[in-house]
Amino acid sequence: MSNANSYISSREPVVLYCEKEYDLLPGQKYGPIKRKTYIIECCEEGYGSVIINGKEFLISPGDCYILLPGDVIVHTADTKNPRKGYWCAIDGLNLGLIFKDAGISAQNPFAPKESFDELCTCLKKMVDDWNCDDAGKSLRETAHIYDFLGVLIKNKKPSVYDDRIERALGLMEARFHEPLNVDDIAREVGLERSYFSILFKEKTAVSPHKYLTSLRIRQACDLIEKEQCSISEAAAATGLDPCNFARIFKRETGKTPMEYIKNKKSV
Q: What is the pTM of this model?
A: 0.63
Residue 178, classed as helix, strand or coil, is coil
| Rounded to 5°, angle at Cα 60 from 56 and 63 | 90
Is the bond leading into 32 cis (omega within 30 degrees of zero)? yes
Separation of alpha carbons 229 and 242, rounded Å: 13
**pLDDT tens digits for 114-158?**
999 999 999 999 999 888 888 888 889 889 999 999 898 887 766
Q: Are the C-beta atoms of residues 178 and 236 closer than 8 Å to each other?
A: no
Separation of alpha carbons 90 and 72, rounded Å: 17
**pLDDT tens digits for 11-67?**
678 899 999 999 889 999 998 999 999 999 999 999 999 999 999 999 999 999 999
The residue ranges of every structural domain in the chain are: 3-153, 160-266
Residue 13, classed as helix, strand or coil, is coil
* 267 or 179: which leads in pLDDT: 179
**pLDDT tens digits for 215-250?**
999 888 888 877 667 888 888 888 888 888 888 988
pLDDT band at 79 (very low <50, low <70, confident <90, very high): very high
Q: What is the pLDDT of residue 66?
A: 96
Q: Are the C-beta atoms of residues 211 and 172 closer than 8 Å to each other?
A: yes
Separation of alpha carbons 206 and 183, rounded Å: 16
Separation of alpha carbons 224 and 260, rounded Å: 9
Pick the CATH number of 160-266 from 1.10.10.10, 1.10.10.60, 1.10.1060.10, 3.50.50.60: 1.10.10.60
Question: Which CATH architecture describes the domain 3-153?
Answer: Sandwich (2.60)
